[in-house]
Amino acid sequence: MLKLSVLDQSLVSKGRPQDESIRHTLALAQRCEEWGYQRFWVSEHHSLASIAGTAPEVLLAAIAARTTRIRLGSAGVMLPHYAAFKVAEQFRVLDALAPGRIDLGLGRAPGSDGLTSQLLNPDRRAAERFPQQVMELQAWVSGQTMPTGHPGQGVWAYPLSNTSPNLWILGSSNYGAQLAAHLGLPYAFAYFFSDGAGVEEALEIYHSAFRPSPFLSQPQATICVSALVCDSEAQAAFQFQTRARWRIDRNKGLAGPLLPPEEAMAGLSSAQMHEMDAMRADALVGTPTQVHDKLQALATRLSLEELVVCTWTHDPAMQLRSFELLAQAFNMTQAQGLKQAA
């Protein structure tokens, strides 16, 4: 059975306080655990008016205290901004709060604009050391120290325990796929960044070049998709206007709070309205049956056993309803109950 997971970015909606978005993420995580989702991931973005999720390690700690089963993780920590050792400490603490449930997804992109990236880390060449950082982080977060001759030899990331976070490499290009395969780590492709452009090539590179590691014997890949489920097809098309308008604005260099769907069509040119129609035609949007079939077909085509779903709506209640309907469509709650009973 196809496993489903969730990526939530603590979206900011027009007319709603930004801090409310963080509290909504906490509530959503609890409900997603009840509905049987496999994982709940949160992202890292900086100085972006559309997304309030800036500190995944803090948010994950709060979620860990409110859940008991669902895996929790970052999608991801933008590692070039930070010291690998400090990230290892943060996620070892998270693993102590939720033993064996933590995923540490790592990205190389800035998750912000150039100015903000400079403020986070003035070293403009930090991204070039990403592979080395990943290897150092893997050692520290799994309870090891650096080899002889490394400046960090004899330094340990505490607290140590019998479990440790699972590292994932995130990406939207072939670079991440190559690195994940080389290091023998799980790989997640950001399908929703570009409507899947390049996904087949990236997954092929990952599977063909994968080298088993002490952490993973077989390739493990997923993709993160944008999907929206509503009680009716007409309602889904209406709610989708929020995300479609955001993408049009983003392409013009604008990225403000999400607009309510009734405002999303205002001021658009005829060309932009056609663009929105094209987006909707290709989107994973519709009734529970429609989206179930689209997701299942996508997973089958790409030979995937798990998909991560990200849902953007102006109204948090509509996002909750979407994940509830999706869980019902896949009967995940029932399946999880059978698994626990066994």
The pLDDT tens digits for 24-33 are 999 999 999 9
Q: What value does the mean pLDDT take over residues 153-181?
A: 97
Closest CA to 319 of 12, 2, 1, 3: 12
Q: Model-level pTM?
A: 0.94
For the chain, what is the domain count? 1
Domain carrying residue 137? 3-341
Please give the sequence-ordered ranges of beta strands (E in DSSP) within 57-172, or none if there are none: 71-78, 102-107, 166-171
Confidence class for position 5, pLDDT limits 50, 70, 90: very high
Q: Report the CATH number that the domain containing residue 337 is assigned in CATH.
A: 3.20.20.30
Say how far apart CA 24 and CA 30 lie, in whole Å.
10
Q: pLDDT at residue 176 above 60? A: yes
Q: What value does the mean pLDDT take over residues 158-186?
A: 97
Structure tokens at 255: 């990225």
pLDDT at 172: 93
pLDDT at 83: 96
In whole numbers, what is the pLDDT of the chain averaged over residues?
A: 95
Residues 6+ apart with CB under 8 A from 199: 189, 191, 223, 302
> What's the sign of the alpha-carbon dihedral 113, 114, 120, 123?
positive
Q: What value does the mean pLDDT take over residues 93-97?
A: 98
Q: pLDDT at residue 342 above 80? A: no
Confidence class for position 337, pLDDT limits 50, 70, 90: very low
Residues 6+ apart with CB under 8 A from 153: 145, 146, 147
* Helix, strand, coil in percent for the chain, rounding step 5: 45, 15, 35
Confidence class for position 175, pLDDT limits 50, 70, 90: very high
Structure tokens at 214: 């002490």
Say how far apart CA 328 and CA 342 lie, in whole Å.
21
Alpha carbon of residue 98 to chain centroid? 19
236 in Cβ contact with 210 (< 8 Å): no
Q: For residue 291, give the amino acid letter.
A: V
- Pairing verdict, β 102-107 and 166-171: parallel
